[in-house]
Chains A and B, each alone.
Chain A
Amino acid sequence: MNDEFKGMQVLDRRAFLKTGLAGATGLLWTFRLTEARAGDYPAGYDPDGRRWGFLVDLTRCMGCGACVRACKAENHVPDGYYRTWVERYTMLRDGRVLVDSPDGALNGFPEDPPVDPAEGEQAFFVPNLCTQCSTAPRGPERPAGASSRSRDGLVLVDKKRCIGCGYCVQACPYGSRYLHPDGTADKCTLCYHRLVRGLPTACVQACPVGARVVGDLNDPDSPLRKRLATGRHGVLKPEMGTHPKCFYLGLDQEVI
């Protein structure tokens, strides 16, 4: 040891590493603790064994937009962004397909599609919301650990952790995510705060024609499973390999 250090209390390498390592572990542990506290559920709700899913019945939707308005009110969705929206598909006789969704159908569809009615063959409405992918693209798996899957299968964003990089917004194949003006990523949570209290999602409650159903995919007696059994159904963009848990009854191949 150099002369100038004589008489000083100097940590040897082993002690230095020990202290450092212990300090770092302690620091990381406190982060773990805050994370654990975030997962509290209301009394009587057990997430284990459940797997939340959703069904949209395209043969029933009439494009009124009540679901979009209910969602906006329930979840304080900022103007210009949508946790759920409704698209209108207009198929023309010459094979063209027109799609529109004025303001996400927040006010329904006040105007007819801009085509001569004689040219039209058929039209239908397609509500959209987060498909709650079983295998979400790797991007949304949040660099800072803010987006994660709940024990009952929902993909959720931790608004206190998200750094707002937007990578998950880019990675979602369905355009379901957006950057909230508060600087974090935001998306449909399937009204998780309501589900855990035994309530349906706001959009399900608001739909006047029963075109939306939420339920437990693991429960064969759930209304969701029963409706799924009534007809052919599909999911959006199955080629993405995301295994969505939002199913569409009466899905047309033009819908993406």
Chain B
Amino acid sequence: MHGELAGPISGFVFPNEIHVHWTVMIVLYPYITGLVAGAFIVSSLYHLFGQRELRTIARFALASSFVFLLFAPLPLLLHLGRPERAFNILITPSPTSAMAGFGIVYLTYLTLVALEVWFSVREDLVERARQRGGLTGFLYRALALGDLTVTDATRRRDHRVVRFLAGAGIPVACFLHGYVGFLFGSIKANPWWSTPLMFIIFLMSAIVSGLSVLLFLFYLISYLRKVPVERAVVETMARYLWGFMMVAVTLEVMEVLSIAYQQTAEWEPLSILIRDRLFVTYIVVQLVVCSLLPFLFLGVNNLLKPRSRVSDLLVFSSSVLLLVQVLAMRWNVVIGGQLLSKSLRGYTSYVPGLWEREGLVVAVVVFTVPFLLLRWVDRVVPLFPPDSAIGAGERSA
């Protein structure tokens, strides 16, 4: 039996659990790594699976993945109680701790993506190193690692390497993000987290968020550069997005439905958690507004093939809604899991702070910087092919 559900704390919460330990930064971290994994997979759809329609966005997707990856550890460092000791996790890792795998998985993936980015932009770097003089030329030469030979043989080699890394990167991307899900899924003490499905749920929603953020940016950049959006790109992405969001949301719902149907001992406290503490963020935002609506929008777009203007509206709003959906999902997992006390008899509450180290302002900054960096990277090497509309558009944005 459970106590009354009123006020910030209801029922009996273990005294050490009144404060929520993992907050905004731990919501942001899996969100960012999800974008990384999702964007990488989009670029691999072109490089490895021969999805030719995605040629325009392939390099941009890869660069997005790289830029977000650079920032992925930042929320973690902001969260750690003793960030200056972060390297202990690499120097004296504990082989039995899932979290200790972070350094290894992260560094492997970072190396791989950095190499793939380098090989795919090498020719552009060389071209600029040859054209420009002075400091800029020197910097381009340095970025090209001093090797300015471009022949058909080097092109073939670069292409082969990119293809290989695009393939090798898929299991690593899955591992990086699946591993984040595993961190939560393996906490047996927490009934809201503890499920072997968590791994695959995180992975699927990562792909959804990656597709969504790329669609969103593609629309935004096309708009800013005053060029029409490339229909083939958005239509292809919209089809993938529809498919992946169906799998992701089905898994998310089935996971909860199976606990509900089994009526295990945990279901009673979990049902109160969902109904009372997570009603808005889980039921309303994650499931109804941000899953059902984009499911319908994308369905209409993909099945009925409406006019371009209508289609743009449907696809763009779906990408925004699904970005919010995945963020809400991260929030509901990370925060939701901590609102139910391990006493299973009570609930605490959490409202994020604004200005603190792990507050909303810092979170917004941490999340915005990669986008700005991406814009800067586009100045260094063009991220869209010059023969595409978006690549030939005004480079003011």
Determine if B186 and A183 form an interchain contact, defined as CB atoms under 8 angstroms apart. no
Known A-B contacts A85-B15, A142-B97, A175-B343; the reply to A164 vs B189 at CB < 8 A is no
A62 lies within 8 A of chain B by Cβ: no
In the complex, which residues of chain A have a beta carbon less than 8 angstroms from the beta carbon of B189?
A: 137, 170-173, 240
What bracket does the count of chain B residues touching chain A fall in? 35 or more
Determine if B82 and A184 form an interchain contact, defined as CB atoms under 8 angstroms apart. yes
Known A-B contacts A170-B187, A240-B189; the reply to A144 vs B81 at CB < 8 A is no
Stretch binding the partner chain, chosen from A48-56, A95-103, A194-202, A207-215:
A95-103
A146 lies within 8 A of chain B by Cβ: yes
Q: CB within 8 A of B21: which of A31, A95, A169, A256?
A: A169
In the complex, which residues of chain A have a beta carbon less than 8 angstroms from the beta carbon of B188?
A: 137, 171, 173, 240-241
Determine if B91 and A170 form an interchain contact, defined as CB atoms under 8 angstroms apart. no
Q: CB within 8 A of B186: which of A98, A138, A185, A241?
A: A138
Determine if A137 and B343 form an interchain contact, defined as CB atoms under 8 angstroms apart. no
Determine if B17 and A175 form an interchain contact, defined as CB atoms under 8 angstroms apart. yes
Determine if A164 and B16 form an interchain contact, defined as CB atoms under 8 angstroms apart. no
B342 lies within 8 A of chain A by Cβ: yes
Known A-B contacts A144-B100, A175-B343; the reply to A161 vs B92 at CB < 8 A is yes
Determine if A165 and B99 form an interchain contact, defined as CB atoms under 8 angstroms apart. yes
Q: CB within 8 A of B93: which of A85, A100, A143, A172?
A: A143
Determine if A167 and B99 form an interchain contact, defined as CB atoms under 8 angstroms apart. yes
Determine if B82 and A162 form an interchain contact, defined as CB atoms under 8 angstroms apart. yes
In the complex, which residues of chain A have a beta carbon less than 8 angstroms from the beta carbon of B18?
A: 80
Inter-chain contact count A-B, CB under 8 Å? 143
A179 lies within 8 A of chain B by Cβ: yes
B155 lies within 8 A of chain A by Cβ: no
Q: CB within 8 A of B16: which of A146, A161, A175, A184?
A: A175
**Minimal Cβ-Cβ distance residue in B for A27:** B91
Determine if B102 and A164 form an interchain contact, defined as CB atoms under 8 angstroms apart. no
In the complex, which residues of chain B have a beta carbon less than 8 angstroms from the beta carbon of A87?
A: 12
Q: How distant is the Cα of A119 from the Cα of B363 in the complex, in angstroms?
A: 50
Determine if A101 and B12 form an interchain contact, defined as CB atoms under 8 angstroms apart. yes
Q: CB within 8 A of A163: which of B1, B82, B98?
A: B82
**Minimal Cβ-Cβ distance residue in A for B17:** A175
**B positions within 8 Å CB-CB of A:** 1, 3, 11-12, 14-19, 21-22, 76, 79-83, 85-86, 88-89, 91-94, 96-100, 102, 183, 186-190, 338, 341-346
**A positions within 8 Å CB-CB of B:** 28, 31, 35, 80-82, 85, 87, 95-101, 103-104, 128, 137-139, 141-146, 161-167, 169-180, 182-185, 240-241, 256
Q: A165-B99, A167-B99, A180-B81 are in contact. List 15 more A-B contacts (CB 8 A).
A: A80-B19, A100-B12, A103-B15, A142-B97, A142-B100, A144-B100, A162-B82, A163-B80, A164-B81, A167-B97, A169-B21, A171-B188, A172-B189, A172-B342, A179-B81
A-B pairs, top 6 by smallest CB distance, nearest first, are A164-B81, A183-B81, A175-B14, A144-B88, A173-B189, A99-B12
A-B contact pairs, 28 of them (CB 8 A): A80-B18, A87-B12, A98-B12, A99-B346, A100-B12, A137-B187, A137-B188, A138-B97, A142-B97, A143-B89, A143-B100, A144-B88, A162-B81, A163-B82, A164-B80, A164-B85, A165-B79, A166-B21, A166-B79, A166-B81, A167-B183, A171-B188, A173-B189, A174-B342, A175-B343, A179-B81, A184-B81, A241-B188
